[in-house]
Structure 1
Amino acid sequence: MYRDVAALVRPQAVAIVGASAKRSTQGNVVIENLRAWGYPGRILPVHPSAAEVDGLPACNGAAALPPAVDTAIVAVPAAEVLQTLRQLEAAGVRSANVFSNGFSAEQEAAIRAFGTTTAMSINGPNCMGLVNFTDKAPLYPSRPSLRLKPGRVALVAQSGSAAISVMNSITTGLSKVVTVGSEYQVTAADYLVWLAQDEATTVVGVVAESIQDPVAFAYAADKLHAAGKALVVLKVGNSEMGAAATQAHTGALVSSRDAFDSFFRSCDIAIARDYDELVASLECAVLAKRRPGAGRIAVAGISGGQTALACDVAEAAGVALAVFSEATQATVHASLPGAPGHNPVDIGATVSKEDRNTPAAFEAILNDPEVGALALLQDSQASLNPRTYENYMLHIPGYAEIARKTGKPVVMISPTGEGLHAGIEEAVQGSGVPVLRGLREGLVAMDHLGRGRPGAAKAWADAHRPDRPLRNPAAAQWRRELAALSGSLPPELAFRLLRSYGVPVVKSLIASSAEEASARAGEVGFPMVVKVASRQINHRSDIGGVVLDVRDASALRDALATITRNVAQHAPQAVIDGFELQEQIAGDAEALIGFAQTPPLGTLMVVGTGGTMVELLNDRALQLAPLSVEEGRALIGKTRLGKLLDGYRSLMPRTDIAPLARLLSGLSDLAADLGDLITACDLNPVLVKKATGELRVVDALMIVRSAG
């Protein structure tokens, strides 16, 4: 599943293809960097005619290279890349970093095809290579910041500019920085597997524009987590949902961001939203102790306003704060008499310094089993007035001492993004106390300390492998039947498909004409609901294509005439295939359950409040299929629908959500088996009876992708 990238990352000999004997090119900058850093391996310029390049003997072609060259820098025009790679392969070169860009579709396809057959590992193209700080190997066509230093943080980024932004912002040392570019062959997952075994790396950041193979990425993430290493991902870019998916309410309610968030949550991978969060998370992870997964964050600071703001920021960022036990509150109040003792802790509320016993308060907080980490809000800006700095230094060394005595992370957060005061950083150096910039960034970084549960990413990957068995024995037949279809499924077919996955649907039939509808009404019985059946109409109620409470034959004739008239007026291009007659059942709540394709991650399930105002209400919870019944229950519990069914005030008695959770799980099995063929699915409304939770699906929209 993975390419060996050792020759790319830790080469003993580097060939440079594309350096000039007369001017400075990307290849020449790589040579300059290697020599400036004291690279201990061999540097081998390749030039068709020059005797030397930058004072180094040149090889007049790949065939002239010595045997067993580990890697080659390829910085030639796009049209020459494939030929160059073939020549390097013939010369026995083990890997290549391709800086070139501007490929045509044909050139890209040819290089990708070559990548599937060659033993060479190929990084890029359209990349800026990599920097191995540990082994002094900057295979990099730009000049890194002079303040960069070796450390234990690795970064893998598709974008070269993203790598530059992080390198220019991070204050801790780096072990490896890899830019993977367009990933024609080698991907970020290959590097994660290698970094899991790299003794010089303990924390890994990824900046991803796309993930080509989520299953491979998840397995690679699990290897990092199993090795006790932190992983933080910044996913950039939101692709648009396909046009077919947005014909359904479900497609309009979800985005690719939702799918990636679900993927990362399921794999217990920490997610950063921007460069600042990524940098803070990497700095925190490499310096702080790991946070117990069950514990939440306690906040303390000298300013009541600042600690209150921290609570607001934490809530907005989805960071859970700890609730202290009564014993902890009592000890905190006794140690800081002006403070009430709950979280957050306002140290400054105890005005007299003589009355403060801050170490005792912090010890009680850190001993509380509900607390997983302690955030200390402390202005630490480089611009501090010298007298203010002196006052702060009366207590900051005590923070370091507290951190040394506990097994939980203690983190100082300077509430703004300004650069840090060197004296404050030095005061806590070596104590395991990171000093982070920015209130939101710091709290998010602390939250990330609890991510990375071994086995979580593997469990997701196991459930989403391409070779996993189908979840329903009938799925193979359904796949054959759906492969020949496109557009909206006829209601009768959609209901038949749902029944095969155990989804309860109302009794219904399709009549091809008004006459047949009148003749077969007895098969459904009155009262009934009458709906237009048309492949061109997805949301039937929007155009008056649904009539409720049809109680006799006369009312049925009127309903059919009304529907025909409304379709002619509001959708004159639509062909009426017939009329759907459904039993009318009572429901005390309306749910929406559905899914939408979200390649390459699979199919995203949605549950929330249904009905005609589903998009306006925007009540939704989402998770990638498949879901167990218990996962379905948890997902329902995140919605306003779930709160209503739990017995919200006097609007609804407490209602059993087990039937709805089973329906959600069953539909997720359908999505897992057939979601590559069905672009989107809406079950709306699903009518739920109060108390018992008994339910029926009364409308199903399924859109099948075109075979073309």
Structure 2
Amino acid sequence: MTSDTFSSAMRALMVPRSVAIVGATERPDASSSFVMRNLMAHGFDGKILPVNPKGGSVFGYTAATSLSDLAEPADVAVIGISAERVLPALEEAARNGIKAAVVLASGFGELDDAGRRRQDELVDLARRNGMAICGPNCLGLFNLNSGAALYSSRLSTGMLKGGLALVSHSGATAIALGNTGRIGISHIVSSGNSAATDIPDYLDYLATDDATKAIGVVLEAIRDPQAFADAMQTVHAAGKPVIVLRAGRSESGARATAAHTGSLAGAGEAYTSFFRRNGVLEAGDMDEFLETAVLCSGTRRPRRGKGLAVLGVSGGGVAHVSDIAEETGITLPPFHCGTVAALRTLLPPFATPQNPLDTTGIVFADASIYGQVLDVIATDPEIGLIVAAQDAPTGLDQDGAAEYLGIAGAAADFAKQSETPVVFMSNLSSGHHPAVKAAAARGVTVMNGTRATLRAIKAVMNVEVASLDEGKPWAAPDPTWLQRIGSGVPLTEREAKAFLAANGLPTTQEYLATTADEAAAAAEKTGFPVVMKIESPDIAHKTEAGGVRLGIASESEAREAFETIIANARAYDPKADLRGVVVQEMVTGGVEALVGLVRHEPFGLGLVVGVGGVLVELIKDAAFELLPIDKPLALDMIDRTKLSQLLAGYRGAAAADADGLADLMVALSDAALRYDDVLEAIDLNPVAVLPKGRGVRLLDALVIGKKPA
């Protein structure tokens, strides 16, 4: 199937001029009945072609007895019959030149083995015939501009028409977001199981749709990350933002492995990394999704690389906004000295010209001052967006609301002529009094709820598509290590370190001892003090097993430590394969970090960095990114964690080698990509980050291979 063929099928699905409804009936509760009533109610001016084996008339339209009886092929067939009859209907549609379909029925991949087989057959049929298929197990789709309301649930005739397209695995969520009355909609797509035509296909189409200015996606999962990323490139080229709300984020995504890393980075972190890397705006809830959509659909978007200014008429009000901004991770930059001087000429002597700004009540008496203040702030070189935080609650009476109309009007007038965008924000999620909202909405973007608004602003102002330094080509994997890791037999710590050292990671000097005398000799050779650890593929967390001794300072201590470690390990796991004790150089000083890899399908491996040591799971302070990782991204990840403060020299300590840690992260990323076929997880904890200029050392390592098929 060529791209042109599928593009034509997508146009037939999204902008049909003729619609065949298979299983058409006037029965009120039937899905096909909803579709026909919606087509009529929403002014679809194309051909409505009911299909019913009994023929007759359906809502005044003459019914064909089959798709083969249609005088000419329809653009799209809406299949409103039971699951077991869907595939024959689709086969008939394909034979008759119909290139698109909406399959409403449940009973496919979401149900059982038989349903999954049925869905596989549907996908195969679609690919063989170049068909675009919405569903199955969906409510359908609605093009508000053409009136093509192929939706099997009631659609409000009062839905606002506009520039936001909604694509959702959940039909009910799409309807909820589409009927807020706060934003205009171009399309609603309930994609259901998205078996043959998935979210990336809709993104590709909507990137070219003139009526769509922004795209909102409600998804449960991404099946093909590369297809999604490719579609995002097309959307970015069209200059359209994409906002995503992901359902099911609370489910545990970490695989059950022995690595600490899995507990620090679940599926949610993998999705967030993927979205961040591809310039997707991720919303935490429906309120945040809606405010982000409102902001993206405004006449002007925030200027990237600039800061946020907040003004209001109450010191307490702007302080509240400032508090939430800090919690959200937004810094309010101080005004330029010229801005401060200009504000002093406008405001009373008791006002403090700072960001956030309390204009005082003078603007109620003279709303023009509010507009002048906005003009001054707009010229500040550090400001890319102004938030006019003004509460005018819905419960005000007419006279109370009238006090705010001048301010709202001044903001609207300013927005019409300024290059610096402004949003008129209510701290209350219930929004402004209708009269105040109407006055502001003449020219300004109106947003509700402090936290949702500020999170939306942060996302839009910070969004970018990652451009990673590809660096040197990756070396081919070593066949011996491929076989060893892929064998299913766990690597010991010593073997794990040997693998990592072979891939350029800095490890400790160490020797394996199988007797107390060998341990004493190895300790003497290494140089006291030393660390001694149990060598066993069956004991992942050696400290818990009593299998680690630190600071061994003599040969006699080494002999005693050997016997104790072996005894402890046997008591901890009598069936464990004990291969001896590793004598390892003791690295002192520096900061303990954790670096690791964890796999999250469908994205693959990602890297975690954070505070290391025995309290890693208690502290749970880490950053995660999908591979590959380059050095700028590695440094950015470190900066997102409390580890950065420790590395900088916390409470007078010497600064540690953050550059060396970043280099280790890049080396681990490169190694992981070389051995991706056999690696499941890697846990490096702790990594000793030595004083600046002295690099890092791996003190403990766990390498987990994929289970053989």
**1:158–1:658 Cα change, 3 Å:** same
- Name the SS of the counterpart of 1:498 in structure 2: helix
**1:65–1:176 Cα change, 3 Å:** same
Partner of 1:544: 546
For the 8 Å contact 1:21–1:52, the answer to whether it is kept is: no
**Shift of residue 674 of structure 1?**
3.1
- The residue type equivalent to 2:626 in the other structure is L
Residue 595, structure 1, aligned to residue 606, structure 2: no
Partner of 1:15: 20
- Name the SS of the counterpart of 2:581 in structure 1: strand
Q: Which range is displaced more, 436-445 or 292-301?
A: 436-445
Q: Which range is displaced more, 113-122 or 174-183?
A: 113-122
- The residue type equivalent to 1:680 in the other structure is A
Query: Structure 2 residue aligned with 1:199, among 204, 210, 213?
Result: 210
Residue 707, structure 1, aligned to residue 708, structure 2: yes
**Shift of residue 512 of structure 1?**
5.0
Partner of 2:103: 98
Partner of 2:638: 636
For the 8 Å contact 1:602–1:672, the answer to whether it is kept is: no
Partner of 1:69: 74
- Superposition pairs of residues 376-391 of structure 1, within 5 angstroms: 376-391=388-403
- The residue type equivalent to 1:50 in the other structure is G
Partner of 1:154: 165
- The residue type equivalent to 2:455 in the other structure is V
Partner of 2:237: 226
Query: Structure 2 residue aligned with 1:36, among 31, 35, 41?
Result: 41
For the 8 Å contact 1:491–1:700, the answer to whether it is kept is: yes
- The residue type equivalent to 2:410 in the other structure is G
In the alignment, the residues of structure 1 paired with residue 675 and residue 377 of structure 2 have an alpha-carbon distance, to the nearest angstrom, of: 51
For the 8 Å contact 2:364–2:404, the answer to whether it is kept is: no
In the alignment, the residues of structure 2 paired with residue 263 and residue 600 of structure 1 have an alpha-carbon distance, to the nearest angstrom, of: 11
Partner of 2:112: none
**1:170–1:481 Cα change, 3 Å:** farther
**1:690–1:40 Cα change, 3 Å:** same
**1:175–1:55 Cα change, 3 Å:** same
**Shift of residue 385 of structure 1?**
1.4
- The residue type equivalent to 1:565 in the other structure is A
**Shift of residue 147 of structure 1?**
1.8
Partner of 1:466: none
- Superposition pairs of residues 194-593 of structure 1, within 5 angstroms: 194-238=205-249, 239-245=251-257, 247-337=258-348, 338-348=350-360, 353=365, 357-418=369-430, 420-431=432-443, 433-450=444-461, 452-453=463-464, 456=465, 459=467, 472-475=474-477, 477=479, 480-481=482-483, 484-486=486-488, 488-511=490-513, 517=519, 524-593=526-595
For the 8 Å contact 1:336–1:356, the answer to whether it is kept is: no
Query: 1:172-210: CA deviations, max 9, x gaps?
Result: 221111111111111111111111111111111111111
For the 8 Å contact 1:72–1:95, the answer to whether it is kept is: yes
Partner of 2:131: 120
Query: 1:412-438: CA deviations, max 9, x gaps?
Result: 01121225433223323442x111221
- Name the SS of the counterpart of 2:650 in structure 1: coil
- The residue type equivalent to 2:301 in the other structure is R
- The residue type equivalent to 1:389 in the other structure is A
For the 8 Å contact 1:339–1:350, the answer to whether it is kept is: no
In the alignment, the residues of structure 1 paired with residue 634 and residue 255 of structure 2 have an alpha-carbon distance, to the nearest angstrom, of: 28
- Name the SS of the counterpart of 1:679 in structure 2: strand
**Shift of residue 439 of structure 1?**
1.6
Q: Which range is displaced more, 26-35 or 100-109?
A: 100-109
**Shift of residue 170 of structure 1?**
4.0
For the 8 Å contact 1:509–1:582, the answer to whether it is kept is: yes
- The residue type equivalent to 1:369 in the other structure is P
**1:451–1:167 Cα change, 3 Å:** same
**Shift of residue 303 of structure 1?**
1.6
**Shift of residue 351 of structure 1?**
8.7
**1:255–1:170 Cα change, 3 Å:** farther
Query: 1:212-240: CA deviations, max 9, x gaps?
Result: 12222122223222222222111221242
Unaligned runs of 5+ in 2: 109-114
**Shift of residue 669 of structure 1?**
1.6
Partner of 2:57: 52
In the alignment, the residues of structure 2 paired with residue 555 and residue 476 of structure 1 have an alpha-carbon distance, to the nearest angstrom, of: 39
- Superposition pairs of residues 682-693 of structure 1, within 5 angstroms: 682-693=683-694
For the 8 Å contact 2:657–2:689, the answer to whether it is kept is: no
**1:217–1:646 Cα change, 3 Å:** same
For the 8 Å contact 1:277–1:445, the answer to whether it is kept is: yes
**Shift of residue 517 of structure 1?**
4.6
- The residue type equivalent to 1:563 in the other structure is I
In the alignment, the residues of structure 2 paired with residue 565 and residue 167 of structure 1 have an alpha-carbon distance, to the nearest angstrom, of: 66
- Name the SS of the counterpart of 2:334 in structure 1: coil
**Shift of residue 357 of structure 1?**
3.1
Q: Which range is displaced more, 215-224 or 670-679?
A: 670-679
- Name the SS of the counterpart of 2:461 in structure 1: coil
For the 8 Å contact 2:405–2:436, the answer to whether it is kept is: yes
**Shift of residue 487 of structure 1?**
5.8
For the 8 Å contact 2:386–2:422, the answer to whether it is kept is: yes
For the 8 Å contact 2:428–2:450, the answer to whether it is kept is: yes
Q: Which range is displaced more, 46-55 or 406-415?
A: 46-55
Q: Identity across aligned pairs (percent)? A: 34
- RCO higher in 1 or 2 (8 Å CA, sep ≥ 6)? 1
- Name the SS of the counterpart of 1:357 in structure 2: helix
**1:256–1:92 Cα change, 3 Å:** same
For the 8 Å contact 1:508–1:524, the answer to whether it is kept is: yes
- The residue type equivalent to 1:308 in the other structure is A
In the alignment, the residues of structure 2 paired with residue 89 and residue 351 of structure 1 have an alpha-carbon distance, to the nearest angstrom, of: 67
**1:260–1:645 Cα change, 3 Å:** same
In the alignment, the residues of structure 1 paired with residue 424 and residue 501 of structure 2 have an alpha-carbon distance, to the nearest angstrom, of: 56
- Name the SS of the counterpart of 2:345 in structure 1: helix
Partner of 1:646: 648
Q: Which range is displaced more, 53-62 or 269-278?
A: 53-62
- The residue type equivalent to 2:93 in the other structure is L
For the 8 Å contact 2:545–2:569, the answer to whether it is kept is: yes
**Shift of residue 558 of structure 1?**
1.1
- The residue type equivalent to 1:146 in the other structure is T
| Alignment length (residue pairs) | 696
Residue 183, structure 1, aligned to residue 184, structure 2: no
In the alignment, the residues of structure 1 paired with residue 626 and residue 696 of structure 2 have an alpha-carbon distance, to the nearest angstrom, of: 23
RMSD: 2.5
- The residue type equivalent to 2:686 in the other structure is P
- Name the SS of the counterpart of 1:205 in structure 2: strand
For the 8 Å contact 1:379–1:413, the answer to whether it is kept is: yes
- Name the SS of the counterpart of 1:376 in structure 2: strand
Partner of 2:111: none
- Name the SS of the counterpart of 1:494 in structure 2: helix
